[in-house]
Amino acid sequence: MTTTRGTKADGTPITAELIEAMADEAERGYDVDELRRRRGGRPALGSSPSTVVSVRLDPELKRDLLLRSSAQGVSVSEALREALRQYGYAS
């Protein structure tokens, strides 16, 4: 019987054999250029790293934002970004 030590993000069981194979790969070394090409994380939104901005919303505004973003089929963040773009263009 094979003992598992949890699962990977894709659901693959982590076994002693998998751990051994991963350790062997690490000991052989990694191709740094390949690792850079496979970067994970969120995709870039613009020409440079994004920043996070906290905003306080009253309950009615938050409700309206949630309803609007849901109706448009976009995330709340994307709805806020679009609103801010429009605000910036209007000035």
pTM: 0.51
Q: How many domains does the chain have?
A: 2
Evaluate whether residue 73 is within a structural domain.
Answer: yes
Say yes or no: 1 and 31 in one domain.
yes
| CA distance linking residue 79 with residue 70, whole number of Å | 9
Do 59 and 31 belong together in one domain?
no
Domain range for 72:
52-91
Calpha distance 65→80 (Å, rounded): 8
Calculated CA dihedral for residues 81, 74, 46, 41, nearest 10 degrees: 120
Assess if residue 45 is contained within a domain.
no
What's the pLDDT tens digit per position in 43-86?
777 777 788 899 999 999 999 999 999 999 999 999 999 999 99
**Predicted pLDDT of residue 58:** 96
Do 32 and 64 have their domain in common? Answer: no
Q: Kindly state whether residue 1 falls inside one of the protein's structural domains.
A: yes
